[in-house]
Structures are given as structure tokens and as C-alpha cells.
Amino acid sequence: MHLSRLSRLLALLVLVSGGAALAQPQRRQLGSYQDSEMTLEERNAARARPKSNINAYTKDIKVKEEPIPWKAIGLAVIAFAVTAPFAWRAYKGTTRDIAAANTFGTSSTRGGEDASEQ
């Protein structure tokens, strides 16, 4: 009985602490623009202003372009060129071994050995 009370208390604490952790604070309401009326000139000036932060400093900033990693590309091409003949030879040898071990069809050597032993 004592263990069940402890487990219930633990489950209750886990649920309460999890709920408190997931609770989000109240969001602040933005001020309403209807309270302050703008004149026609102010509205036109606000529309004419650019939406992004464009000034003389941002016009002079050059975007840094990353150079193409020619050394890494060259190393990869050399590695593929060196390993390609060995891979081709391994592929051909494996397909030859698989074809020789084929147990079905006319190329099977099992049928011929069984017939000669009888």
C-alpha cells in the first residue's frame, strides 16, 4: 500500500511539473494602430519609406563567395581513377564465380557428377 501511494504521488508530481514546463507565458498585445490616426501625408511618407533596412553601409557590403574546392575534386577524381580497374576486376570475378556456382539450368555441374557416380 505504501508503494502505491508513493507511485501515485510521483505520477502526480511528474504531470504537474510537465504541465508547468509546457505552459507558455502570456503574449503581449501589440498596440492598436486605430488609436492614433495618421494624416494623409504621414501615410504616404510611410508607404514611400523602404521596408528593409537599406542604407549606405549595406550597399557597400560585398557578399563573400566561397571558392570551388578544386583540390578536393581533383583528389576524388584521382581516387576513383585508381580504384576503378580493381573494382571492375572484382566485379567480373564475382559474376564469373556466381555463374559457375549456378545450381539451376544447363550450366550446373552437379547433375553431371551425380550421373557419372551411379
- Grid coordinates representing 9 are 504521488
Q: How far is CA 110 from CA 6, 39, 40, 104, in A?
A: 72, 99, 98, 9
What are the distances in angstroms from CA 82 to CA 23, 72, 79, 92?
Answer: 60, 15, 5, 17
Q: Give pTM, 2 decimals.
A: 0.35
Separation CA 82–CA 107 (nearest Å): 35
Confidence tier at 53 by pLDDT (50, 70, 90): low
In whole angstroms, give the CA distance from residue 35 to residue 29: 14
A 10 A CB-CB count for 108 gives 13
Select from 67, 68, 50 the least CA-distant residue to 59: 50
Please check the confidence at residue 92 and state whether its pLDDT lies above 80. yes
Confidence of residue 56 (pLDDT cuts 50, 70, 90): low
User: Residue 44 has what pLDDT?
Assistant: 87
Of the pLDDT bands very low, low, confident and very high (cuts 50, 70, 90), residue 75 is very high
Q: What is the pLDDT of residues 32-49, one digit of tens each?
A: 555 567 788 888 888 887
- Give the pLDDT confidence score for residue 95 in this predicted structure: 92
